């Protein structure tokens, strides 16, 4: 297995496994998680609500038991968009490649336990893609303006980091372009910074500090401030169990959702240059606490609760890119693939092939530019 393929597998399988583990604890608070499961969650567990089909009528999803959620469904859809174009993506490709995949391609949806189009599993902020681009025919470069500001675009941006492996600035720029069709404000910024983090993690020999340096170099406004605050706090811990309340306190000034996660106030999810989504800074904080270890970073994210599936998706993608396929516990990956009836390896293989082709095209493009610039110089 080439290093690029190993990194792609670690990243995408790592993201999917984090998603599946975090799905069970999503929206719950740490003390509620411990009460429900009789202690810390240490692996794949049943749904938080035993009566999951009726407990939350608006979201009758079978989360837990190793089922991936919309985070992974969207990630795999983005991989298919790359596979179709075999080159960098832009906002118009979201219209022409991603949105049709969401509304036309039938896939197995694990937490609905049936086949259907991915659109049927999306939340309101992600359905915005279809409303604005497919129905309203908005300019894709600015279609994200007006959406609920959340982590919906960030949660599936890991493939951008692999396509731009070793080039965090390139990943940041491409993700800003793609995410503009979906999100705005700090939701769009988080998508770009997450892609950059994956690209930094994908560089040969990269470590946690390389990822943090790239994110802090590229992040802007409240997103940068939140990452900086959480990372500084995280450096004082080496046990995620102890770190959870400290990381929450560090990110709280930048988070608009508030302490009552299921009952956010009127200021929640509105655009601002001062605020940040919670999930990415916490994922990076858990990566610091775990010293890059996949299992610890993901379990810390899962037990943190709140938007646990997206936080664990991001932590899992970055830790998986750092450590490769072997970093992701095989028993978790096998159970998630079987329970979700989803091939977790195939998208990673395809993405590694596409990334190689894109690099070759980039090299040709730069050679042409160098020749022309040489003539000018």
Delineate the domains of the chain, giving CATH numbers in brackets.
3-376 (1.10.4080.10)
Contact (Cβ atoms closer than 8 angstroms) between residue 166 and residue 203: yes
Distance CA 365, CA 372 (A): 11
Give backbone dihedrals phi and psi of 115, rounded to 5 degrees, phi first.
Answer: -85, 155
For 270, other C-beta atoms within 10 Å of its C-beta total: 12
Q: Is 120 exposed, middle or buried (0-12, 13-18, 19+ CB in 10 A)?
A: middle
Is 310 labelled a binding residue? yes
Per-residue pLDDT, 30: 98
Q: Is the dihedral of CA 230, 231, 233, 234 positive or negative?
A: positive
Per-residue pLDDT, 56: 87
Residues paired with 114 in a beta bridge? 109
Q: Is 291 exposed, middle or buried (0-12, 13-18, 19+ CB in 10 A)?
A: exposed
What does the chain come to in residues? 377
Nearest to 12 by CA among 65, 91, 83: 83
Distance CA 190, CA 201 (A): 16
122: left (phi over 0), alpha (psi -120 to 50) or beta: beta
Contacts (Cβ under 8 Å, ≥6 apart) of 286 = 234, 240, 243, 247, 296, 297, 298, 300, 301, 304, 311, 315
Q: pLDDT 10s digit of each residue in the chain, 377 long? A: 799 999 999 999 999 999 999 999 999 999 999 999 999 999 999 999 999 989 888 889 999 999 999 999 999 999 999 999 999 999 999 999 999 999 999 999 999 999 999 999 999 999 999 999 999 999 999 999 999 999 999 999 999 999 999 999 999 999 999 999 999 999 999 999 999 999 999 999 999 999 999 999 999 999 999 999 999 999 999 999 999 999 999 999 999 999 999 899 898 999 999 999 999 999 999 999 999 999 999 999 999 999 999 999 999 999 999 999 999 999 999 999 999 999 999 999 999 999 999 999 999 999 999 999 999 98
Is 209 labelled a binding residue? no
pTM over 0.75: yes
Contacts (Cβ under 8 Å, ≥6 apart) of 219 = 189, 193, 227
Averaged pLDDT of the chain: 97
For 349, other C-beta atoms within 10 Å of its C-beta total: 16
Per-residue pLDDT, 55: 87
Is 70 labelled a binding residue? yes
Residues paired with 115 in a beta bridge? 108
Distance CA 198, CA 234 (A): 19
Distance CA 196, CA 160 (A): 8
Contact (Cβ atoms closer than 8 angstroms) between residue 190 and residue 151: yes
Is 51 labelled a binding residue? no
For 40, other C-beta atoms within 10 Å of its C-beta total: 15
State both tokens at 152.
């919906």
Helix (H, G, I), strand (E, B) or coil at 151: coil
Helix (H, G, I), strand (E, B) or coil at 107: strand
CA 290 vs CA 178, 183, 223, 232: distances in Å: 31, 30, 21, 14
Nearest to 304 by CA among 246, 228, 222, 354: 246
Per-residue pLDDT, 147: 98
Nearest to 48 by CA among 301, 248, 34, 57: 34
Distance CA 40, CA 53 (A): 24
């Amino acid at each position: 297995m080439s290093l690029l393929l190993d990194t792609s597998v670690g990243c995408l399988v790592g993201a999917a496994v984090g998603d599946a583990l975090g799905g069970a604890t999503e929206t719950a608070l740490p003390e509620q998680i411990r009460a429900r499961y009789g202690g810390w969650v240490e692996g794949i567990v049943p749904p938080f609500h035993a009566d999951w089909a009726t407990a939350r009528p608006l979201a009758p999803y079978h989360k837990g038991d190793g089922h991936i959620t919309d985070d992974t469904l969207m990630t795999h859809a983005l991989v298919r968009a790359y596979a179709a174009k075999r080159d960098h993506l832009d906002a118009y490709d979201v219209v022409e490649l991603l949105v049709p995949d969401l509304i036309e391609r039938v896939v197995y949806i694990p937490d609905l336990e049936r086949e259907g189009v991915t659109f049927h599993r999306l939340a309101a902020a992600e359905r915005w893609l279809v409303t604005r681009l497919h129905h309203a025919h908005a300019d894709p470069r600015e279609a994200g303006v007006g959406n609920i500001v959340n982590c919906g675009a960030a949660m599936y941006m890991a493939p951008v980091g692999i396509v731009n492996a070793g080039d965090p600035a390139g990943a940041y720029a491409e993700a800003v372009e793609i995410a503009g069709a979906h999100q705005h404000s700090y939701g769009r910024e988080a998508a770009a910074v997450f892609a950059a983090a994956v690209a930094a993690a994908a560089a040969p020999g990269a470590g946690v500090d390389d990822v943090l340096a790239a994110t802090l170099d590229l992040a802007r406004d409240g997103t940068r401030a939140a990452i900086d605050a959480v990372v500084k706090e995280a450096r004082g811990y080496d046990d995620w169990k102890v770190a959870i309340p400290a990381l929450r306190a560090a990110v709280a000034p930048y988070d608009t959702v508030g302490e009552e996660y299921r009952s956010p106030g009127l200021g929640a999810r509105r655009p601002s240059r001062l605020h940040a989504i919670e999930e990415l800074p916490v994922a990076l904080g858990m990566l610091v606490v775990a010293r890059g270890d996949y299992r610890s970073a993901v379990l810390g994210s899962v037990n943190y609760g709140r938007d646990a599936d997206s936080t664990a998706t991001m932590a899992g993608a970055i830790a998986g890119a750092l450590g490769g396929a072997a970093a992701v516990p095989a028993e978790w990956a096998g159970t998630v693939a079987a329970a979700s009836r989803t091939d977790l390896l195939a998208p990673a293989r395809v993405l590694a092939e596409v990334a190689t082709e894109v690099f070759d095209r980039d090299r040709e493009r730069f050679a042409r530019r160098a020749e022309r610039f040489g003539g000018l110089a």
